[in-house]
Structure 1
């Protein structure tokens, strides 16, 4: 079987369901426009011209393939397994987000839309979408929680320099969930003009499948690279999970390889015993959020719970529906690390390898720091370094001063 596509159990059905999770639970005024996206994506995915254009931009604009880097110093310091980093931080715009943003921008252009609209948490999706919009000649509007606007000011400046309109969201928890709500409301007012470019493998069908497909280049490259370098598959994969796009991007090409342990890492924040975390896979229950059936951190009435993570891009009370299915199938293991462990990993990788990781990616590194010493010296672990930490250095410096 080709490893460019996972087997059908790991694909949504015609209605966008991964087992019991997924679908498109939408009010009538959104159902039609989102269905239009599904039809357009299905056609584009089978169009060699669209795929050729997308792949060409990944190579000539993004700079793919990204490196699979043997972190020799980190491996030596941890003891145990050899640690490889999939260097998505080296992409143009500094994160994995540009992969699906280019795909969504091309699809919007194909559909005759004139504006891209989206939410962003840490700002990486916003920067990537603003970049893609500038490249293909579309207007761009980014909604961002007011807390994240303050926390990720450098990315706000980047978005504005790229020509995007940044809309601070002051409602509710003033973070990623509210940014999604706000952007959806504007989209619903003029769907004939806007293309909603969701920033992760979340939301109504077709977005969980579409964003995964655009991101699957990460895992396909990593698979070929590790086979060339080590002559075999890795023993384990590790990636951070908020909505879950960077994780599925890496995991997808390995899902049928039962010998490969796959670990998703979510935010335990200030501890799972309280409510200052975003550990959806660990503590969430089935529910509906942003048009999808998935696992959600929610109150007794079904309302999404307030969440917290030191990494703005992970503070989301839901998760991509395919992740919920993968946990149910027992194919992926979901663990969590705290803010303190994440800060330690951020500093460790910076000091030991000269690589400053995003706080989102630092969740994966923190789990690798636990996992690698438990494995034999001939074991191989690949972690997805989903973004660079330039955006986080001022915030981290402030946190360290407070400590």
Structure 2
């Protein structure tokens, strides 16, 4: 049994002997662990139900560590630090992820709201820890620190924020490790764990392939952030455009009524002129979305975004997007027409004759209102 266990988890028997661990002691821990697993499961369910109250959590699950992985982790921790002694009376304090919860979110920026929820809702046994990848934006790292997170660069590019919370159904509180990450980060982590970690960390080809997959997962997260930013900005543009259409339709309607009832004097002329000016000058300044998109910077600097930008530039420069060319003769005609219009507006008699012209009246009656879109 012991040898099969070592082979399954790629444990060096010599290092195990040097660690001072006894197989019999590990079996005793496993037997004791069976007695507390039902309580651990109940605490895990309680934590899941509580965290699901945060609307930014897309999906969540929990697990109670199985006996084999508990023993395997005790062995690895002891081999890594021979001074550490993990016994039957302290393993629950030494192994802090007996109950593990994974809370997943869709967009990187959703983490901020989840973090606030976790900090407000739970007692933490230690400060949250944000694992980042080499090359991550200094702005993001600083943001984690501003949120009272310890930041640690993970050697294999693992990204996640861990919270060690104290939870329980009664007076006794148990530690639960809550890992918060995006769906793409979860997908990479699961694949990496099954294929490479922790038993094949020295396989160079697997390390390289996992690194590529990690980069693709990061690109997917950043592209998702950009898509959300683009949608938010585009929605604001459309809403502003809709408001502009409604405003101009109101001005046109008012203008039509003024013209139909017109007996010109100076005040009416000024009112008509002001209405036309307003129709010409109504503009909406589109503001950028208020929400912070900290992870957008990384995407803007990525090869993926630069390639997309290059493709868009090629489309814009294609024949289908050639600029409209106006000849000098057409431009002169438009300029003269504008001058004549302002001369008419400045002379009540000319304006009255202009508006009384049958052709002009027909044109005014053919004005089409742009109907606003119904939401």
TM over 0.5: no
TM (normalized to structure 2)?
A: 0.32
TM (normalized to structure 1)?
A: 0.30
Q: Which has the higher strand share?
A: 1
Q: Which has the higher helix share?
A: 2
Q: Which has the larger radius of gyration?
A: 2
Structure scoring higher RCO (CA < 8 A, sep ≥ 6) equals 1
